[in-house]
Structure 1
């Protein structure tokens, strides 16, 4: 009887240890970038290993609880952005910044391709001082790759507002929509993400 009890406890302890071993103990962090239409930014970053989630939204403006209609009008001051939740044990903030610079033209003011307006500006919204310093260093390094000056703003994230549901996972949900076919898919192919 004692032997059965000891063996039962031993197997139970082994099961607990196995369960804990398989549980991810790593923490996640967030990065927030604006690089034109948030559908493109979301589609790029959600394909990177170590990125757990990407949420399309609005940031950098003055109006509380902005809507797509308001942001699109250019009157709220917000940029279309993507907030990236990532595992820093798998992908670093610096690696995310590297993809940010590759995924759009940071030398065009308030414009990415046919998307024109302050809501499409190039912006890095840092969550803390460490991200700010990394973004500034990264911008200086990226400038060496461009003939024209980089116009990307680096500013603290004050508020992030999640965009309406129909903007979330837009490329995945609408792969054959014209914008996805003619803008997002070629970008993903150029970046070797599709």
Structure 2
């Protein structure tokens, strides 16, 4: 069971939980700009990202220009097992994920990928992210359509060749089996609980890195819902 799950058993844990003394925040790594840019048309598109704890991934995407919605949820398993405590067993096939609705005329899918890997998820960690361990915390891309699949495949190949991280790229491309929103108290969690120990230690640094590394994409307001 990951540290995040232990902290999240009840919102009453806000004042009681402490980070381990040996823990260190995850390191932001500036991923390269995509060599293959997305060519999505229109002003509304949807993408799904799995990258460990959905609180932090949601918070990162919620501060991007062009993002209209970022919703925490589950992907990879069935509707019947899409509940937080069940997913926490690591046996449902689900990964904690975020569904992003965005305007591709403002921010492209390949730019979302670059932000995701730069400040959201470490693509070299297998079935874990930061303090959280288990297949439910794996990093994965779930392309919704041929264009996203084309760009995602090309970008993962590019990251593998770039050697920006010391380890091999293990992020997977997974088929869309449906996205199931998480329980209400998980939505906008970072905005609603900025003093939660997990948010302050693990996720606030991700948002700070986004602001520092991508000032042209950053927006101060948190997009809710």
The 5 A counterparts of 1:138-149 are 138-143=155-160, 144=162, 145-149=164-168
CA offsets, 1:37-77, max 9 Å, x none?
00010000010000000000000124535100000111211
Residues 1-194 of structure 1: pairs in structure 2 closer than 5 A: 27-62=43-78, 64-102=80-118, 103-143=120-160, 144=162, 145-192=164-211
Provide the rounded CA distance (Å) in 2 between the counterparts of 1:99 and 1:179: 21
Once the 2 structures are TM-superposed, how far is the Cα of residue 148 of structure 1 from its aligned partner?
1.2
Instruction: Give the SS at the match of 1:84.
Output: strand
Give the number of the structure whose residues are more often helix, by fraction.
1
- The structural deviation recorded for 1:191 is 2.6
Q: Can you give the 5+ residue segments of structure 2 that lack an aligned partner in the other structure?
A: 1-41, 212-217, 221-225
Give the strand-richer structure, 1 or 2: 1
Which sections of structure 1, spanning at least 5 residues, go unmatched? Answer: 1-25
Aligned length, in residue pairs: 169
SS in 1 for 2:147: helix
Separation in 1, partners of 2:57, 2:74 = 13
CA contact (8 A) 2:81 2:87 kept: no
Select the structure of larger CA radius of gyration. 1
CA contact (8 A) 1:111 1:117 kept: yes
Local SS of the residue matching 1:119? helix
Superposition deviation, residue 146 in structure 1: 2.1
Q: CA separation in 1, counterparts of 2:207 and 2:63?
A: 9
Contact 1:40 1:184 in 2 (8 A): yes
Superposed CA RMSD: 1.4
Contact 1:110–1:119 (Cα < 8 Å) also in 2: yes
User: Distance between the aligned counterparts of 1:94 and 1:190, measured in 2?
Assistant: 19
Q: TM-score, normalised by structure 1?
A: 0.83
- 1:189 deviates by 1.5
